[in-house]
Copies of this chain bind each other. A is one copy, B any other.
């Protein structure tokens, strides 16, 4: 068995953990498929408000599980099935999840790890974190959907630095480049992410899902999606959540979203 993706549900929160610690949580094909199954299930779980995505044992994810590569990478159909099926299957399930996802990043965040982090809504990192995609040392380019995802999240310049120069960048640099919301010590990371997740879990859950769906369509289609997005955008008018939020503000009390 080459690694697994673990799930812990705790009230309104879920913790998803990439776990192949002997390889710094490198993603095996089995793990990509588990990541997909898990996120498809989480997307539909009632009462779930926030997901924290993390790695086991001091690292987020060091990349793909290269020990498996000789089995399938040297034949175009097998290579395509891996990237378009397993990898994109996993990444797209995270992207398509309507529940907010926080990436908690320490240690290696490379290749597949960078791609998984790029699918998350918020990214917090510890000072130990290192970011890159040095696959130019492994003799291959980034797959198109993965490159589009990463270039959008880290920016065009950083994507080229990672892909064409195999450069590995630290957390302060990725904060300055706009990829991270916050950097803290390794010691503080878990508590900082937990506190953030708990605060987010108090906010309006249906509004979060609507915001995520809308931002996703804008990312995928650009401004041409707007006329279609406007249709149906105001159906929430009479919802209990909307009425509670406005009523609480008028009454100068915190809103309670059930």
Contact = CB atoms under 8 A, between A and B. Distances in A.
Interface stretch (A17-25, A30-38, A71-79): A71-79
A249 B75 contact: no
A246 interface: yes
Contact of A136 (B159, B196, B204): B204
A48 interface: no
Count class of interface residues, chain A: 35 or more
Q: Chain A: interface secondary structure? A: helix
Chain copies in complex: 3
A11 interface: no
A159 to B, nearest CB: 7
A151 B219 CA distance: 10
B141 A236 contact: yes
Q: Which 10 A-B pairs have the closest CB atoms?
A: A139-B245, A136-B203, A144-B229, A141-B210, A138-B245, A139-B204, A80-B234, A76-B237, A79-B237, A79-B234
A222 interface: yes
Contacts of A246: 66, 69-70, 73, 138-140
A67 B168 CA distance: 45
B148 A218 contact: yes
Nearest to A148: B218
Contacts of A226: 144-145, 148
A236 B136 CA distance: 13
Given A122-B164, A123-B157, A234-B83, A73 B147 contact: no
A233 to B, nearest CB: 5
A212 interface: yes
A153 B155 CA distance: 10
Interface in A215-241: 215, 218-223, 226, 229-230, 233-239, 241
